[in-house]
Amino acid sequence: MDSVPVIRKLDEVVINRIAAGEVIQRPANALKEMIENSLDAKSSNIQVTVKNGGLKLLQIQDNGTGIRRDDLEIVCERFTTSKLTKFDDLSSISTYGFRGEALSSISHVAHLTITTKTANEKCAYKASYIDGKLKGPPKPCAGTQGTQIAVEDLFYNVSTRRKALKSPGEEHSRIADVVSRYAIHNSKVGFSLKKQGETLSDIRTLPNSTVVDNVRTIYGNSIARELLEVSSEDEVLKFKLQGYVTNVNYSTKKMVFLLFINHRLVESTALKKTLEQVYSVYLPKNSHPWVYLSLELDPRNVDVNVHPTKHEVHFLHEDKVVDRIKAALEEKLLGCNTSRVFYTQARLPDSNPTSASQNEQSSSNAPSVLPQHLVRTDSSAQKLDKFFKIETSSGDVKKTCPGSSSTDQNITEENSAESVSNSSENERRDIQLTSVLLLRKQIESSGHKALCDIFSKFTFVGCINPSLALIQHETVLYLCDTAAICEELFYQLMLYDFGNVGLLRFTSVLSIYELAIIALDSEEAGWTEADGSKDELAQTVKDLLSSKAEMLEDYFSMGIDSDGNLTSIPLLLDNFSPPAEGLPMFVLRLATEVDWETEKECLDGVCREIARFYARISSDAVACSSLTPDSLDHPEPEEGQDWKWVIEHAIYAALRKNFLPPKIFAEDATVLQIAKLPDLYKVFERC
């Protein structure tokens, strides 16, 4: 007869390690618990450092309230917490932690070290733990307010669990996902994640940001620009919804769902299925959205003590709450869907079906390329102008601009500018002014890598108007704000050719005094009687610029003679000269908007005003400028189309060689993606 097994009480160490395995399943779980502790401590900045996917080192540092020295002895014991005193408190819990198991569980499966300082203590204290107990008394050390927790050799004593984990790269990705989710939800808190020994952070968000800013930083602008804000509130069900979801123009192969209930990162299978059901009406098959939802419920209606890892919660009226969320989302997407309009397209100009079929037969043995990946490489094949008939009449090009004064006409007609390059007369000077070097460094540090690639390899499609143009890069079509891009281009040309720019010399000098009077008479100047006499103001402008004549000529090729006349302006770009009607306002702004007292601000201001003047592009203005297209390897511009020729062959040609687009251009719609061939194919898959 078999003997009956004896029931024995497990050793406390075994009990704690079994419990630890339920709470701490992998490095990402341990980090989640520590992030929540930092947020409970009212931290405004949380830094995470990992090594080997968090298995060798998982460190978190915050600037929160810290831990009292007297509490360090029991902080890693099970069921020790500052957030709960009795079971009934669970019905109104507002903090992330409440069981007091996280640090205890970590200390049973890793080497744990805590360094902490409160506002009331003179120094920080460092303590090490094993199996929930102090290895020795806390030692005083230097440190700032807050807490640093270092977890080393995670699962060193649970070899089976350690072997079951994914590769270090996979574990690092899971850690990054946890940091990303909490950074999105806690946008007022700054987060950073980096690998030990590396200077650059994998994730970095700034304190006091917005949800959209952090989405753009972490997930990219492709998601951030497609976000729709969703909100709903119900007094009866006692819930409030806030969140952001992608519109019907965005889709991905795998759904990204960030769900916070009462600021706790959780999962909800029912809600996730409902969201996928709603989006299935709008997105192609096997496509999914990006969703972030923050749901606030009455704490008395939520049971947070469901799962050891706290990633699941139960709440009352779940079906009704999910239905309300579904209704709010459908309403938002329905309004968004009205913006999608599809048009039929006629055969492209100059296309030949016969020759196309012959080409297909001749290339039947070539490897096949998907249509959505075909890229136009010959800019002469299709241009925007081919879709429109351009009617011009001979002798219709104006020499003066509408609304210009008689003095403007004299400037335009009587003063043709002779271009002279400094590089042809003198050797190029090496400018080492600290201010100029700093300004150049600012340009380089603010450059956008993706935009640099676009502008160095784009294909020009066509001009919509003097301020907007279309360019193509690979299979993506972009709408460009030509005016904003021009101003930045000319500013960079001034700085990088500082002291070496050529000049446009006037055949007849222009009085600075008269130019200032013309500017003050214009509405753009905004002159009022309170500003003083126009004559006195114009004389002040003349005197100021005359006093700076030597510097302006040496650095900026702006010639001013002893009588206060303007004799030349910079030559920044071949085959481009600025519109003459902008000269009066340029002279006035140069005297009034530039800080002439500080070197860096002065040089920056002059370069900015020159760039602003040169960027005043209009169809009439460019037609008035002294273009010399004969020197280029391009066809001469058609009559009445000078401005289009200049924008394509002078300005946008220069962008390929001499332009560092700043990051702001990717955020303020200066360069806006309006079509992407693979995405268009996805849209028409449903047709």
Q: What is the pLDDT of residue 215?
A: 94
* C-alpha to C-alpha distances, 54 to 153, 176, 193, nearest whole angstrom: 8, 11, 11
- Cα–Cα distance, 476 to 454 (Å, whole number): 10
- Cα–Cα distance, 84 to 93 (Å, whole number): 8
Cβ atoms of 401 and 616 within 8 Å: the answer is no
Q: Are residues 540 and 682 in the same domain?
A: no
pTM: 0.49
Q: Are residues 256 and 125 in the same domain?
A: no
Q: Are residues 61 and 175 in the same domain?
A: yes
Q: What is the pLDDT of residue 628?
A: 36
**pLDDT profile of the chain (687 residues), mean per 10:** 66 56 78 91 94 94 92 80 49 49 85 94 93 90 94 87 86 94 94 92 92 93 91 86 91 91 86 91 89 88 55 70 90 68 39 43 51 57 57 35 39 47 58 89 89 88 88 88 90 89 87 91 84 88 91 90 91 81 89 90 92 74 38 41 78 86 88 80 58
Question: How many helices, marked H, and strands, marked E, lie in the chain?
Answer: 24, 24
The b/e string for 118-131 (b: 16+ C-beta within 10 A; e otherwise) is beebeebbbbbbeb
Q: Are residues 138 and 81 in the same domain?
A: yes
The sign one gets for the Cα dihedral 481, 582, 418, 565 is negative
Q: Are residues 44 and 191 in the same domain?
A: yes
**Residue 243: Cβ within 10 Å count:** 23
Q: What is the pLDDT of residue 361?
A: 46
- Cα–Cα distance, 54 to 176 (Å, whole number): 11
Token reading at 416: 């043709």
Q: What is the pLDDT of residue 304?
A: 53
Residue 397 domain-assigned? no
For residue 506, the enclosing domain spans 502-571+580-606
Residue 73 domain-assigned? yes
Q: What is the pLDDT of residue 465?
A: 86
Nearest to 523 by CA among 585, 442, 615: 585
Instruction: Look at residues 280, 313, 334 and tell me which one is the last residue of a structural domain.
Output: 334
- Cα–Cα distance, 130 to 560 (Å, whole number): 80
Residue 3 domain-assigned? no
In this structure, the chain runs to a length of: 687
Burial (0-12, 13-18, 19+ Cβ within 10 Å), 25? middle
- Cα–Cα distance, 149 to 143 (Å, whole number): 13
Q: Are residues 177 and 321 in the same domain?
A: no
Q: What is the pLDDT of residue 400?
A: 32
Residue 224 domain-assigned? yes
Q: Are residues 156 and 233 in the same domain?
A: no
Q: Are residues 537 and 493 in the same domain?
A: no
Instruction: Look at residues 170, 205, 240 and tell me which one is the last residue of a structural domain.
Output: 205
Q: Are residues 152 and 235 in the same domain?
A: no
DSSP readout, 54-101?
Answer: GTSEEEEEE-SS---GGGTTTTTSTT--SS-SSGGGGGG--SS--SS-
Residue 525 domain-assigned? yes
Q: Are residues 231 and 313 in the same domain?
A: yes
- Cα–Cα distance, 266 to 259 (Å, whole number): 6
The sign one gets for the Cα dihedral 410, 415, 416, 422 is negative
Q: What is the pLDDT of residue 384?
A: 65
Q: Are residues 190 and 46 in the same domain?
A: yes
Residue 112 domain-assigned? yes
Task: Give the largest CA-CA distance in the chain.
Answer: 124
Q: In the chain, how many domains are there?
A: 4
DSSP letter assigned to residue 387: G
Q: What is the CATH number of the domain that holds 244?
A: 3.30.230.10
377 in helix, strand or coil?
coil
Token reading at 72: 């360090």
Q: Are residues 201 and 228 in the same domain?
A: no
- Cα–Cα distance, 149 to 626 (Å, whole number): 69
**Strands 468-473 vs 459-465: parallel, antiparallel or unpaired:** antiparallel
- Cα–Cα distance, 521 to 543 (Å, whole number): 19
227 in helix, strand or coil?
strand
348 in helix, strand or coil?
coil
DSSP letter assigned to residue 649: I
Cβ atoms of 266 and 296 within 8 Å: the answer is no
Cβ atoms of 387 and 347 within 8 Å: the answer is no
Q: What is the CATH number of the domain that holds 126?
A: 3.30.565.10
Residue 128 domain-assigned? yes
Residue 650 domain-assigned? yes
- Cα–Cα distance, 565 to 515 (Å, whole number): 10
Burial (0-12, 13-18, 19+ Cβ within 10 Å), 9? exposed
Instruction: Look at residues 334, 365, 381 and tell me which one is the last residue of a structural domain.
Output: 334
Residues 538-592 have pLDDT tens digits of 899 899 999 999 999 989 989 999 999 999 999 888 777 788 888 899 999 999 8
* C-alpha to C-alpha distances, 114 to 66, 131, 217, 403, nearest whole angstrom: 10, 14, 31, 74
What ranges in 426-481 are assigned the alpha helix state H? 434-445, 449-457
DSSP letter assigned to residue 371: G
